[in-house]
């Protein structure tokens, strides 16, 4: 990886690929029909994405107006061993003050942190070397030609917010740099089928009022309160119950926050579940879907506020200020602990190797080795045994962090973009996007990574909860 250039209307990632002849000395070429795609038929640059760990943004390669073709170098399917291929992939414009960026790549390459962002401009003559293997020798440098496709007029469509998720026994807080949503568990606030607040709800809502007063920006209204039910009951009944519960929460907010803020309330019944109901864990799924969500725009640094000059994130300081972007890491830390687990009902044996976590801006990055053992079967591609039911769509959402022995507050995998409201499995999280990357032979190891919200900057160790592999005490570098 070389750098990202900031052009007037886009950002350009530049890198070199060298097919290495380190396994079969007699092999002269390599054929990969879709080397940068997310599948055998994806002949685009879909495997490359940029992460701004300070702005908490995720950038996909821009495409043409049809949305089918990524912009950048041609995709070369036939490579000559030991030749250097110079590539470009084009992305949406980055913020002017972004100096370093992280690249995440599908497969086992993982994350490349600390890539410099520099000013640049399109060259007078675009690259145009021949990519015909008969014209290339080992050791040659090939400037791969650009595709002829024109970039979409709306490159910003390929930029998405990153959502940090922190949960405790009464609520789940989901936040970007600009907006925050507090999902209150309805079973804490109300008795079954009721819309009258319980005594326990008073303490929970008192904390929410204080947090909202400190963090919500009254100049960018409204504070929105939305009620949700599970799927039990008729559509009309659920709609009415969700509206009444939202209003009960709003009444407490209005009383505590006063007239400085504007408010909106609505009920959505069972239209937007978080998880699918009807399975073996149906009661737990329904409890997850019963909630009241409070959302608002966040005060930005420097805004006037009462009591503090910095956003608290929560009452107990569970989120700290962002660290600088991580520098480039040529090597991972040493494996500090391992554990074995039988996945897929014990039929697939794997070993998890845990390395120290490190900070990348607003996040902690977990790096793990997963090795297939010499007993049992393997995890088929259609199963996701390391996922949490409450967070469908990812591959490692069952992994989470706790800090300082406080098991009630859990830091979950960072989500890319808004939560889907229909096909829940389409949610994406900032981690290795598929596992196993390829069918694992006995003894084969794959490196995977997961991004979590960062705890306060003074945190030097966390507890990792790694699904069937158990718990680990892990240092933070």
pLDDT in tens, 25-36: 677 788 887 788
Q: Per-residue pLDDT averaged across 15-25, rounded? A: 81
Pairwise CA distance, residues 430 & 420, whole Å:
15
- Residues 38-60: tens digit of each pLDDT: 877 888 999 999 999 999 999 99
Are 12 and 82 in contact, with CB atoms under 8 Å apart? Answer: no
Instruction: Determine the pLDDT at residue 320.
Output: 54
Distance (Å, whole) CA 386 – CA 394: 9
Residue 103 has pLDDT above 90, yes or no: yes
Write out pLDDT tens, residues 398-455: 999 999 999 999 999 999 999 998 899 999 999 998 888 776 566 789 999 999 999 9
- Give the number of other Cβ atoms within 10 Å of residue 223's Cβ: 21
The answer to whether residue 130 scores a pLDDT higher than 70 is yes
Residue 350's Cβ-count burial label (10 Å; 0-12, 13-18, 19+) is buried
Strands (E), 190-262: 223-228
The rounded radius of gyration (Å) of the Cα atoms in the chain is 24
Distant-in-sequence, close-in-space partners of 440: CB < 8 Å, separation ≥ 6: 372, 378, 446
- Going 412 to 416 to 419 to 422, the CA torsion angle's sign is negative
Looking at the predicted structure, is the pLDDT value of residue 350 above 60? yes
If phi > 0 it is left, if psi is from -120 to 50 it is alpha, else beta; for residue 103 that is beta
Residue corresponding to tokens 């309330």: 265
Lowest mean pLDDT among 128-142, 307-321, 432-446: 307-321
Say yes or no to pLDDT of 260 above 60.
yes
C-alpha distances in angstroms, 388 versus 64, 76, 201? 36, 38, 27
* Residue 158 CB coordination number (10 Å): 23
CA distance 449 to 329: 13
pLDDT digits (tens, 9 = 90+) for 137-151: 999 999 999 999 999
Check residue 476 and report its DSSP letter: B
Cis peptide before 222 (omega within 30 of 0): yes
Q: How would you write 324-345 as a 3-class SS string?
A: CCCCCCCCCCCCCEEEEEEHHH
- Residue 234 confidence (pLDDT) above 50: yes
**What digits encode the pLDDT tens for the residues 186-226?**
999 999 999 999 999 999 999 999 999 999 999 999 999 99
Give all strands (DSSP E) within 53-109, no chain letters: 57-59, 78-80, 84-91, 100-105
Handedness of CA 371, 432, 466, 285 (dihedral sign): negative
Number of residues that make up the chain = 477
Q: What is the pLDDT of residue 303?
A: 57
Cβ 151 vs Cβ 403: under 8 Å: no
**Three-state secondary structure call for residue 354:** strand
**By percentage, how much of the chain surpasses pLDDT 70?**
94
pLDDT band, residue 236 (cuts 50/70/90): very high
Q: Give residue 378's pLDDT.
A: 86
The pLDDT, as a whole number, for residue 72 is: 96
Instruction: Tell me which residue of 375, 380, 384, 367 sits closest to 340, measured CA to CA.
Output: 375
pTM of the predicted model over 0.85: yes
How many CB atoms are closer than 10 A to CB 7?
A: 14
Q: Are 103 and 126 in contact (CB under 8 A)?
A: no
Mean pLDDT within 102-122: 93
- Give the list of residues 6+ apart from residue 474 with CB closer than 8 angstroms, or none: 336, 337, 354, 356, 357, 366, 461, 462, 463, 464
**What domains appear along the chain, each with residue ranges and CATH number?**
3-153 (no CATH), 179-297 (3.30.1330.60), 337-475 (2.60.40)
| CA distances for 254 relative to 42, 303, 407, angstroms | 51, 22, 32
Q: End-to-end CA distance of the chain, in Å?
A: 23
Retrieve residue 243's tokens: 């509206």
Q: What is the pLDDT of residue 306?
A: 38
pLDDT at 305 over 50: no
pLDDT of residue 289: 97
**What is the C-alpha to C-alpha distance for residues 467 and 282, in angstroms, rounded to an integer?**
20
> CA 420, 217, 246 angle in degrees (round to 5)?
55
55-97 pLDDT, tens digit per residue, is 999 999 999 999 999 999 999 989 999 999 999 999 999 999 9
Q: What is the mean pLDDT of the chain?
A: 91
CA distance 412 to 435: 18
Cβ atoms of residues 390 and 282 within 8 Å: no
Task: Give the Cα separation of 228 and 267 in Å (integer).
Answer: 6
């Amino acid at each position: 990886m070389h750098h990202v250039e900031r052009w007037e209307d886009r950002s350009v990632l530049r890198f070199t690929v060298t097919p290495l002849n380190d396994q079969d000395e007699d092999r002269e070429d390599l054929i990969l029909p879709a080397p940068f795609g997310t599948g055998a038929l994806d002949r685009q640059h879909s495997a490359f994405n940029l992460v701004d760990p300070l702005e908490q943004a995720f950038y996909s390669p821009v495409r043409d107006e049809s949305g089918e073709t990524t912009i950048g170098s041609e995709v070369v399917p036939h490579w000559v061993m030991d030749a250097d291929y110079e590539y470009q992939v084009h992305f949406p414009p980055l913020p002017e003050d972004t100096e370093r960026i992280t690249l995440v790549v599908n497969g086992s390459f993982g994350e490349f942190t600390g890539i410099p962002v520099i000013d640049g401009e399109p060259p007078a003559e675009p690259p145009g070397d021949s990519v015909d293997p008969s014209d290339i020798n080992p050791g040659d440098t090939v400037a791969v030609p650009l595709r002829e496709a024109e970039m979409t007029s709306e490159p910003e469509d390929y930029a998405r917010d990153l959502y940090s998720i922190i949960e405790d026994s009464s609520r789940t807080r989901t936040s970007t740099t600009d907006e925050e949503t507090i999902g209150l568990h309805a079973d804490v606030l109300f008795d079954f089928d009721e819309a009258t607040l319980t005594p326990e709800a008073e303490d929970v809502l008192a904390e929410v009022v204080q947090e909202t007063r400190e963090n919500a920006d009254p100049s960018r209204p409204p504070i929105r309160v939305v009620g949700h039910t599970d799927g039990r009951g008729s559509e009309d009944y659920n709609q009415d119950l969700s509206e009444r519960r939202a209003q009960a929460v709003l009444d407490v907010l209005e009383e505590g926050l006063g007239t400085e803020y504007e408010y909106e309330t609505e009920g959505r019944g069972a239209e937007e579940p978080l998880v699918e109901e009807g399975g073996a864990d149906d009661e737990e799924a329904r409890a997850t879907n019963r909630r009241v969500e409070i959302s608002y725009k966040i005060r930005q640094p420097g805004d006037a506020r009462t009591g503090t000059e910095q956003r608290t994130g929560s009452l107990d300081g569970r989120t700290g200020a962002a660290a600088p972007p991580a520098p480039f890491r040529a090597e991972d830390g040493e494996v500090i602990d391992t554990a074995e687990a039988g996945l897929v009902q014990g039929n697939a044996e794997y070993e998890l190797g845990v390395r120290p976590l490190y900070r990348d801006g607003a996040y902690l990055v977990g790096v793990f080795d997963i090795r297939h053992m010499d007993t049992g079967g393997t995890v088929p591609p259609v199963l996701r045994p390391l996922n949490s039911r409450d967070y469908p769509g990812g591959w490692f959402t069952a992994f989470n962090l706790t800090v300082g022995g406080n098991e009630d507050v859990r830091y979950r995998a960072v989500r890319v973009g808004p939560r889907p409201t229909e096909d829940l499995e389409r949610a994406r999280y900032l981690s290795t996007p598929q596992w196993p990357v390829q069918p694992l032979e006995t003894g084969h190891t794959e490196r995977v990574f997961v991004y979590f919200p960062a705890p306060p900057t003074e945190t030097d160790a966390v507890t990792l909860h790694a699904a069937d592999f158990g718990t680990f005490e892990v240092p933070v570098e």
